[in-house]
Amino acid sequence: MIEENTKFIKNKARELGFSSIGISKARHLHEEENKFEKWLSQGYQGSMKYLEKNLDKRLDPRKLVPGSKSIISLSFNYYPKQNIDKKNNFIISKYAYGKDYHKVIRKKLKKLFECIKEKIGDVDGRVFVDSAPVHERAWAKLSGLGWIGKNSLLINERKGSYFFLAEIICDLELEYDSPTPNRCGKCTRCIDACPTDAITSAQVINANKCISYLTIENKKEIPIEFKDNLNDAIFGCDICQDVCPWNKFSKPHNEEKFIPKNEITSLKKNDWIELTEETFNRIFEGSAIKRTKYEGIIRNIKAAN
């Protein structure tokens, strides 16, 4: 029954468009505890104070979802067929080209969980898409979806790193997968390419220097010392992924909702500079870019220009 249930879940996940799926046993992440606490003690989380809360649940999903036995980790590709023109233009991260991934993937994840309950019966659990205190990259690594690269992102040897992560934490006993070896080797391209030196060492990111953090999570003014290094980025940053050799294996996604609107792809530098709040709200309705709000985008434009 365990083997049959595992096979059903994996097949159904692929039917729903997920790129990869792996499963690990729910337990306390002892191997991550010291690393995470040290990272927090160095203040590398910046203003993301939510990362300091619920450490017990972040490190042990059984405290987040009582009775849980398995973490089903999934990836969903967002690599675009075509990049938005970067010539003399401001840059937004590829993950934000289309509709907000939280809503798109959550809908698919809920559908998968419904199918599991219909097939198997009384299953208790919760779905997560970059939400709640879930140590998603650690679970994805343990589930065999890839390894943690020096840029701290999960890398898959056949798919690169342009994918979202999601989880179902449930009380089902399933077959568990094994981690894959770290294949970064001596490569330091991501570290060398980071314009703000945010990657302090392998797998350690100082968010206070990270362009993604500075243009999204950060609510204050962008420090003047970073303004010359933003490289026209106004929402997120893909530099450490763009230079990663493993992303030569990235293939374009097939998710219609991740395709950017023509109104977004046609925006040029001057259009961004003259962007009104009304136009911003209309063009980016349902987009992850709304997360920064209009004031945040204008702040980023001024800093990058």
Active site residues: 130
What are the distances in angstroms from CA 254 to CA 79, 145, 197, 258, 259? 9, 20, 34, 8, 9
Asked if 194 and 241 touch (Cβ cutoff 8 Å), the reply is no
Phi/psi zone of residue 295: left (φ > 0), alpha (ψ -120 to 50 degrees), beta? alpha
What are the distances in angstroms from CA 183 to CA 100, 155, 156? 31, 9, 9
Asked if 164 and 95 touch (Cβ cutoff 8 Å), the reply is yes
The alpha carbon dihedral of 256, 262, 267, 272 has a sign of negative
Q: Cα separation of 143 and 161, whole Å? A: 16
CB-based burial, 9-19: b 16+ in 10 Å, e otherwise? bbebbeebebb
For the record, the structure tokens of 134 come out as 């879930």
Q: Cα separation of 292 and 81, whole Å? A: 25
Asked if 116 and 9 touch (Cβ cutoff 8 Å), the reply is yes
For the record, the structure tokens of 86 come out as 């970067």
What are the distances in angstroms from CA 184 to CA 22, 87, 149, 168, 188? 21, 31, 6, 28, 8
